Amino acid sequence: MQFLKMTVLGLLAVALLAGCGALRGLQGGFQKPIVDTTVRIYEQADSALPAENIQTAVLPRAGLKLTINPFPTITENAVQSAEVYSTASGKAIFLRLDPHGVILLDEMTTRTKGQYVVVMVNNHPVSAWFVGQRITNGQFLIEGEFTDEEAQKIVDDLNKLAKSNKQ
């Protein structure tokens, strides 16, 4: 009788551990991020909201201090492709979004017309743009103070992530 109880308990323990391991695998517990680069787009928020519902982004080059939503509207996972562009002010990154990202950008620019949108790369604000009109084609340019190497690494990482998301 004691042997039977121990066997059943042993089988239950094995099943429990196997189930936890499977769940951890599904949640990405064993997976390393594909790339180190994050590109997130945040909407401007009302500064009168409680502190836990807002975040502050300071863009020193532009002299802007903006209150933003703490949760991004668009992330690097919505990028379909990225390219380095040369502009009069230096290197920029041109993004094309996937179909879901196109919808998110369209909705965001419709909702935030007359406000700012902040782009953060690796949790650092790099640019902000004033939304003057709706963007329906899912394409936009990130202008920041990027060196050639920084811009190329961001583009390479985003394209690598986009390729892995297609699979």
Whether residue 72 contacts residue 40, with contact meaning beta carbons closer than 8 Å, is answered with yes
pLDDT average, residue stretch 70-91: 94
pLDDT at 24: 42
Paired residues of 56 in beta bridges = 67
CATH number of 39-166: 3.30.1360.200
Given a cut of 70, is residue 160 above it in pLDDT?
yes
Q: Which of 54, 32, 37, 59 is nearest to 127 (CA)?
A: 59
pLDDT in tens, 30-56: 556 677 899 999 999 987 888 888 899
Confidence of residue 3 (pLDDT cuts 50, 70, 90): low
Whether residue 43 contacts residue 131, with contact meaning beta carbons closer than 8 Å, is answered with no
* Euclidean distance between CA atoms 114 and 57, whole angstroms: 18
What is the domain partition of the chain in residue ranges?
1-31, 39-166
Burial 106-137 (b: 16+ CB within 10 A, else e): bebbeebeeebbbbbbeeebbbbbebeeebee
What pTM, to 2 d.p., does this model score? 0.77
Confidence of residue 1 (pLDDT cuts 50, 70, 90): low
Whether residue 82 contacts residue 154, with contact meaning beta carbons closer than 8 Å, is answered with yes
* Euclidean distance between CA atoms 136 and 107, whole angstroms: 9
* Euclidean distance between CA atoms 154 and 37, whole angstroms: 6
